[in-house]
C-alpha cells in the first residue's frame, strides 16, 4: 500500500505538470513542470523525501526499460536517419565534449572558491 501511495503522489505531480503545460503557453515540456513542482515541494517540506523515496528508487531502476520504445522507433526510421547519421554523430560528440569541459571548469571554480572561503 505504501508503494501505491508513493506512486500516486508522483503521478499526481506529473498530472499537475501536464495541466501547467496546457495552461501556460511556453515551449516547456510537461515533464519539466512536474520535476520543478516536485523539487519545490521537496525543498519546502510539502512532500517529505520518505513519501516518495521507494517508488522513485524503483522508477530509477527501471528507467533503462523506458528507452527501448524510443530505440525501436529509431531503428524503424533508419531510412530517414541514414543520410544525416554522420552529422548527428559529430554534433553529439562535440556537444558531449563541450558539456564535459564546461562542467569540469565550473566544478573546479566552485572547489577553488570553496577553498578560498575556508582559508579566510
d(CA 20, CA 26): 10
User: What is the pTM (predicted TM-score) of this model?
Assistant: 0.62
pLDDT of residue 118: 79
pLDDT in tens, the chain (120 residues): 899 999 999 999 999 999 999 999 899 999 999 999 999 999 999 999 999 999 999 999 999 998 888 888 888 888 888 899 999 999 999 999 999 999 999 999 999 998 888 777
Helices marked H in the chain: 2-23, 30-44, 53-61, 63-66, 68-76, 78-81, 85-119
Three-class DSSP category at 102: helix
* Predicted local distance difference test score (pLDDT) of residue 98: 98
Among 15, 13, 54, 4, CA closest to 36: 13
Amino acid at each position: 500500500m505504501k508503494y501505491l501511495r508513493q506512486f500516486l503522489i508522483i503521478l499526481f505531480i506529473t498530472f499537475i505538470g501536464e495541466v501547467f503545460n496546457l495552461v501556460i503557453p511556453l515551449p516547456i515540456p510537461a515533464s519539466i513542470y512536474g520535476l520543478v513542482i516536485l523539487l519545490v515541494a521537496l525543498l519546502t517540506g510539502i512532500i517529505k523525501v520518505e513519501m516518495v523515496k521507494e517508488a522513485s528508487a524503483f522508477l530509477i531502476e527501471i528507467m533503462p526499460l523506458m528507452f527501448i520504445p524510443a530505440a525501436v522507433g529509431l531503428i524503424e526510421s533508419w531510412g530517414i536517419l541514414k543520410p544525416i547519421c554522420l552529422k548527428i554523430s559529430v554534433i553529439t560528440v562535440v556537444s558531449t565534449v563541450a558539456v564535459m569541459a564546461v562542467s569540469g571548469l565550473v566544478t573546479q571554480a566552485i572547489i577553488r572558491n570553496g577553498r578560498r572561503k575556508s582559508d579566510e
